[in-house]
């Protein structure tokens, strides 16, 4: 489990020091002295709990809390207000802004530690439930819901920052015949082995392997251009073949194989825009259309790999999503792991 962290926000450095001593050793501590900077730090480190002074000059604690709760990436972080005020109206306003608890000034270190510990424990439980809701129970890789969330996030990030992004769609060849002849328990075991091979091969922290549906998997590759995606596709094909899962009923080989469709949005794409162009245009209809096209192109490329005989990969650029005939076999350089 990643180390938990707490963000302390107070315009008084002395208040931060006192709070820091009270929470020392409980989690990794981050500090900020105003609301705007607190938002920046929170987006960078995504703390597990935010302890927030309610009375700050400029952007006060209530406004800061409302901004935190308006950010999809931060909305689930519990916020504890620290305040010298009391009374039901003040507390009601704090809860309405999104706070989960209050700590009265002057603070009592043991009480601060107890209240923050309780929120860390609650956040831990919520995170575990969310983690389980985003994992495919059969294969233990990400499920379709997790893929959809990450795909939307990474696509917008790629467009905003002018970074490439690639997508692989992986489909197990002749899987119905495998299930029909070996039985569903063997089919489940086969999918678990393939998911493991994909996970071991796509090793970068940003890469996401997900079960897309049935015997189909998706591999999302942020910051990866077509050359990198093609090279990884070749390695995935090899990793699946190396499992050596017998398949006497396959028309392709005597063992389980897979076909892969590849699509990329990178500097070689006809629809590539520099980050400055994207900033000027904003997230418009064309950008959202390209997001759908990356999925469609990978799917069309997968169809091309199946049609060409299976156990291979095909590439189709995002700009050619509606032209499946342009899908091509991965290059010789990508097929050679030394290339």
Question: Among all residues, which ones are annotated catalytic?
Answer: 215
The two structure tokens encoding residue 49: 């709990």
Q: What is the dihedral of CA 78, 79, 80, 81, to 10 degrees?
A: -160
Query: What Å distances lie between residue 43 and 29, 46, 78, 254, CA to CA?
Result: 15, 6, 14, 50
49-53 and 79-83: which strand pairing? Answer: parallel
Structure tokens that stand for 75 in this block: 């909305």
- CB of 32 closer than 8 Å to CB of 9: yes
CA 269 to chain centre: 24
Token code pair at residue 176: 């119905």
3-state class (DSSP) for residue 140: coil
Contacts of 238 (CB under 8 A, 6+ apart): 337
Cβ atoms of residues 314 and 304 within 8 Å? yes
As to burial, measured by CB atoms within 10 angstroms (0-12 exposed, 13-18 middle, 19+ buried), residue 125 is exposed
> To the nearest 10°, the Cα dihedral for 201, 207, 210, 216?
-60
Q: What are the φ/ψ torsions at residue 268 (nearest 5 degrees)?
A: -90, -5
């Amino acid at each position: 489990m990643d180390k938990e962290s707490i963000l302390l926000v107070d315009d008084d450095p002395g208040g931060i020091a006192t709070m820091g001593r009270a929470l020392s050793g409980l989690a990794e501590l981050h500090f900020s002295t105003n609301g705007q900077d607190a938002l920046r730090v929170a987006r960078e480190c995504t703390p597990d709990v935010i302890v927030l002074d309610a009375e700050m000059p400029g952007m006060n604690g209530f406004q800061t809390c409302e901004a935190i709760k308006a950010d999809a990436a931060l909305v689930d972080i519990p916020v504890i207000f620290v305040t010298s005020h009391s009374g039901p109206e003040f507390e009601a306003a704090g809860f309405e802004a999104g706070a989960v608890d209050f700590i009265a000034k002057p603070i009592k270190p043991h009480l601060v530690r107890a209240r923050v510990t309780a929120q860390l424990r609650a956040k831990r439980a919520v995170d575990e439930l969310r983690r389980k809701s985003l994992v495919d129970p059969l294969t233990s890789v990400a499920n379709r819901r997790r893929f959809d969330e990450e795909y939307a996030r990474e696509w917008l990030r790629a467009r905003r920052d002018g970074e490439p992004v690639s997508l692989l769609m992986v489909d197990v060849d002749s899987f119905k015949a495998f299930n029909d002849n070996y039985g569903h328990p063997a089919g489940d075991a086969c999918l678990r082995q393939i998911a493991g091979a994909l996970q071991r091969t796509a090793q970068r922290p940003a890469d996401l392997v997900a079960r897309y549906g049935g015997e189909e998997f998706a591999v999302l590759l942020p910051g990866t251009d077509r050359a990198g995606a093609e090279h990884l596709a070749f390695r995935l094909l090899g990793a699946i073949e190396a499992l050596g899962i017998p398949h006497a009923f396959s028309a392709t080989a005597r063992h389980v194989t897979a076909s892969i469709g590849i699509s990329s949005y990178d500097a070689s794409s006809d629809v590539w825009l520099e980050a400055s162009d994207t900033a000027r245009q904003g997230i418009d209809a064309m950008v959202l259309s390209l997001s759908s096209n990356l999925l469609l192109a990978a799917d069309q490329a997968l169809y091309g790999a199946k049609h060409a005989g299976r156990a291979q990969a095909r590439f189709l650029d995002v700009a050619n999503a509606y032209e499946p005939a342009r899908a091509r076999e991965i290059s010789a350089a990508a097929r050679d792991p030394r290339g």
